[in-house]
Structure 1
Amino acid sequence: MRDQAEQLRAKINSMNDAKQAKTIAVVSGKGGVGKSNVSTNMAIALAKQGNKVLVFDLDIGMGNIHVLLGLNAPFSISDFIKHHMNLEEIVCSSPYQISYISAGNSFSEIMDLDGGTAMRLLDNIERLSLQYDYIIFDMGAGATASSLEILIAVDDVFVVTTPEPTAITDAYSMMKYICMKSSETQFYLICNRAEKEKEGLITLQRLQLTMEKFLQKQVSILGVLLEDSIVRKAVAKQTPFYVEFPNSAIAKKIDMLLQNYSDVVMTSFVKKERFVQKLKSFWRNNRLKVK
């Protein structure tokens, strides 16, 4: 057992600092706000810019990235755990120049792995991180103990809300929960399904001011996506609206949100520990146990 533990520590320490993917978690305080639609269409927009993008669906039990893409998901994260497949083997391709990993029913098992499986997971995650420009984690609604390590390890967190009071309250509660665990997490706010631009901006500004007032936390506003019937049409066709209606106002707004994000990142000079290195620390201290 000592030999295994020493090998595990050696594996962690040997992971190099080669260029890794930019990692983004897309979250919401409650379900039904269009989080997965935002994740999927942003990923496609990033791919259109020439980036290699992977969407990692971690909305366990409710995962629908493959449905929004109109594709089947022959494998999921469950196959990594139960059938000893590598993450590369369960990555699915799409006709939209993005790849995806489907959600399974065993994400909680990742938090209680034996040393050998944990070592394999870290190995797999690092390999994927070196193969993509962006990895987008589509998380379940809210923040749970099982998802927290991913949320505080990613480079940035996109928070999707709607103007509904319950959605706003839940979005704030979710950010507060994450902040209690990591004050360094960077949040970016998106208001989806607003009737008017002004309504969406007021929603985001209220969230921004609340975070500053009660948590002394600066958050960035990315923008507003208006309620649009073409989104429902695209979902019914199981084709992303960015593909089905590329010249629509909402597709162009996706480009604007990403440009706003790029502008904020470009003006930030804070050196952040990268995703794989954060996960190494968390797993080393809390999860990597030889059983």
Structure 2
Amino acid sequence: MKQMKRLGRGLEDFSHLFLSSRSEKGEPLSGTKQDVACKSEGIGKPARAICIASDERVGERVFFTVNLALEIARQGKRVLVFDADFSLPRLCMLLGFSARNSILHFIVRNGEEGIVAEGIDGVKLITLDADISDLSSLSEGELNSLTRCFRNAEEEAEIMLINTSPGFIHHMRAILKASSEIIVITPQQVAEMINAYGVIKTIFQVNRDVHIGIVSSRISVPVQAEAVFEKMQRVVKKFLHKSLYNYGYLPEDKEISLSMARREPLSITSPSSNTIKCIREISQYVLKMDGCGREKHPVEENNFSFFERLFSKSSV
């Protein structure tokens, strides 16, 4: 309870603040895209792990994760996607994979099948279809084999995107704790911005030093995206005393749901669409920040990989 109070008041206390789009003192807010302009450090380090989180909009989050992975891969980066929504893994369907290469199949087959599937533009996928807490029942040999598969997959990647579960169940908290960077998809409607604030507050309770970026969604005109970020930044600074970063936005586009229904990434079927252009800009911003546009998170100082942090005794 004390920690809750330190991180801010209840959602009902400040909903009116999401209705105004100006900072209290009229000062420009930090964390915008213009704050980042430097070169990437390159590889030779653990993969940069980026979680994608949202409140309940599962389809929107899955769509964004898949298409962001493809756009990053097309800029010459080796990309690994970790589908951590074990309640209903979806990325394998959208990327055209069978669900055979998954952690559950690895366990059932006694390690005879790998956990990594490779698909479009070299993007690799690991599907988490078993609760992380269940892995404690594995034998030492099975767990070592699984850990080795994770480590090898991550060592071959430069960027890893993690699709999270909508709820903050035990294994999800372990993933958030192991993360150094999280993108929260934030719709422009006031009620959903309040829900997004609740997600952000929970993330900071689990991981106080994490770097959180905002991707505004269902945007009709770009000025709406700036307004969403400004409102979120103002409220988070006021009540949580933290800063956010503006990664970009997703436009209002019926093709998003249609591409999900077709199980085809929009980046493949309509690479010139406005939505994909927006995701491409987000991917470019992500790469500009790689290693030099954000403060280094404490969990990165020891140079452990994401999966080493995830399976450490302090996380699971």
Q: What TM-score, normalized to structure 2?
A: 0.76
Q: Which has the higher contact order (CA 8 A, sep 6+)?
A: 2
Q: Does 1:220 align with 2:245?
A: yes
Q: Which residue of 2 aligns with 1:70?
A: 96
Structure 1 residues 264 and 95: alpha-carbon distance in aligned structure 2, compared to 1, 3 A threshold: closer
Q: Which residue of 1 aligns with 2:17?
A: none
Structure 1 residues 149 and 261: alpha-carbon distance in aligned structure 2, compared to 1, 3 A threshold: same
Structure 1 residues 81 and 177: alpha-carbon distance in aligned structure 2, compared to 1, 3 A threshold: farther
**Residue correspondence of structure 1 range 212-251 to structure 2 within 5 A:** 212-251=237-276
Amino acid at match of 1:38: F
**Residue correspondence of structure 1 range 135-284 to structure 2 within 5 A:** 135-265=160-290, 266-270=292-296, 272-274=298-300, 276=304, 280=308, 283-284=311-312
Q: Is the 8 A contact 1:29 1:172 kept in 2?
A: no
Q: How many residues align?
A: 270
Give 1 or 2: higher helix fraction: 1
How far is the alpha carbon of 1:43 from its aligned partner? 0.2
Q: What SS is found at the alignment partner of 1:26?
A: strand
Q: Does 1:43 align with 2:69?
A: yes
The 2-side partners of 1:145 and 1:173 are apart by 17
Structure 1 residues 202 and 140: alpha-carbon distance in aligned structure 2, compared to 1, 3 A threshold: same
Q: 1:85 aligns with which of 101, 106, 111?
A: 111
Q: Is the 8 A contact 2:111 2:146 kept in 1?
A: no
How far is the alpha carbon of 1:194 from its aligned partner? 2.1
How far is the alpha carbon of 1:95 from its aligned partner? 3.0
The CA deviation string for residues 220-242 of structure 1, in whole angstroms up to 9 with x for no partner, is 01111111133233233321111
Q: Which residue of 2 aligns with 1:104?
A: 129
Structure 1 residues 180 and 235: alpha-carbon distance in aligned structure 2, compared to 1, 3 A threshold: closer
Q: What SS is found at the alignment partner of 1:29?
A: coil
Amino acid at match of 1:162: P
Structure 1 residues 124 and 32: alpha-carbon distance in aligned structure 2, compared to 1, 3 A threshold: closer
Q: Which 5+ residue runs of structure 1 have no aligned equivalent?
A: 1-17
Q: What TM-score, normalized to structure 1?
A: 0.81
RMSD: 2.6
Identity %: 21
Structure 1 residues 280 and 196: alpha-carbon distance in aligned structure 2, compared to 1, 3 A threshold: same
How far is the alpha carbon of 1:112 from its aligned partner? 6.4
The 1-side partners of 2:131 and 2:107 are apart by 8
The 2-side partners of 1:281 and 1:106 are apart by 16
The 2-side partners of 1:21 and 1:78 are apart by 24
Q: Which 5+ residue runs of structure 2 have no aligned equivalent?
A: 1-43
Q: Is the 8 A contact 2:133 2:171 kept in 1?
A: yes
